[in-house]
Amino acid sequence: MILEFRILHLHKRFPLRISRGEITGSDNLFVSVTEDGVTGWGEMAPGPTEGADTPEEGRRMLVDFDGLDPSIHRTWANMRAAGIAPCAMAALDMALWDLRAKQAGMPLYRLLGLAREAVVSSVTVGINPPEVVRERVPLLLDRGAKALKIKLGSPEGIEADKAMFAAVVETARGATLRVDANGGWSLDDARHMMGWLAERGAEYIEQPLVRGAEDQLPDLFRDRALPIFVDESCRMSQDIPGFADCVDGVNLKLMKCGGITEALRIVATARAFGLKTMIGCMGESSVAIAAGASLGALFDYIDLDSHLNLDPDPATGAPFAQGVTLPEDRPGHGGAPKNA
């Protein structure tokens, strides 16, 4: 197998502000794996919580990695044992799945025994003043969004959250409303906001408490007004048993779990404990989004929308239509850089 790397800048059309700060774009690492003339593609979106701050760091890890194996599962285990950052693992892992599906002449979803189907994907509304929200939400709805993921947990406090959410409700045209606090609330604020949001039609709350405050989840779960999903608090399948009796579901991201291989284990483990499943994304192009969308039939909720906020998206392969993100119906996961 021949590995090659390229770094591309992803510029966001609208800056994304969450409880931890604002993101305007990123430099992502794209990985290709070629064997017998067939090439698979993967992508790494760097981040401090994903183990590598820069694409160069991820590239160094993969260049030095000597554990490639004909089995993708053994390759994943070898990367994990070698201490490679999960986001870099994800890039190589999805490239290998893309390669094997192309060699089989099958779309990846079919190779995995799935259908090319998915539920509606949330489209993200970052933390903004109400006047910005009133301008931006209609633009998202005009592009076909049917569900909105509203980022709350404003550093300005829950009154700012309420004002922003009220502006979303005012302009949402009946779209489904979901909330992600990204760990921006205290236990008392979370309990209060969940009741307030439930009265205004929110469907669930994601990561209400900061990572590290998981010991407070049982208290919040006991009299919850909304279903609770964990994101930052849950990275790998082995984390799930500890949450089984204090959350309603888990949100996995390929960048934080190391790719498709572990994503399949997370779904299976969550289902075994009776939990709902969700797949989300980081700052990714259509390459990583297509890889995630190939698993779409496995999830109750989907947040695969980061490619919709790129200007431009340097890749193709994850069309968004009627509110749903799907992979292209062709061999592999469907995603590739435009100039590949």
Q: What are the boundaries of each domain within the chain?
A: 2-105, 111-337
171 pLDDT band (50/70/90 cuts)?
very high
What pLDDT sits at residue 210?
Answer: 97
CA 131 vs CA 164, 166, 283: distances in Å: 9, 11, 25
Q: How far is residue 23's CA from residue 125's CA, in Å, rounded to a whole number?
A: 13
Per DSSP, the three-state class of 173 is: coil
123 pLDDT band (50/70/90 cuts)?
very high
Distance, first Cα to last Cα, the chain: 18
Q: Would the pLDDT of 325 be above 90?
A: yes
CATH of domain 2-105: 3.30.390.10
Q: Would the pLDDT of 189 be above 90?
A: yes
Question: Mean per-residue pLDDT for 168-181?
Answer: 98
Q: Would the pLDDT of 251 be above 90?
A: yes
As beta bridge partners, residue 148 has 123, 177
What pLDDT sits at residue 253?
Answer: 98
Q: pLDDT tens for residues 5-60?
A: 999 999 999 999 999 889 999 999 999 999 999 999 999 999 988 989 999 999 99
Q: Using a pLDDT cut of 70, give the percent of the chain over it.
A: 100
What pLDDT sits at residue 48?
Answer: 87
- pTM here is 0.97
Q: Would the pLDDT of 339 be above 90?
A: no
Q: How far is residue 30's CA from residue 26's CA, in Å, rounded to a whole number?
A: 12
Topology adopted by domain 111-337: TIM Barrel (3.20.20)
Tokens of 27: 């430099």
Furthest CA-CA distance within the chain: 59
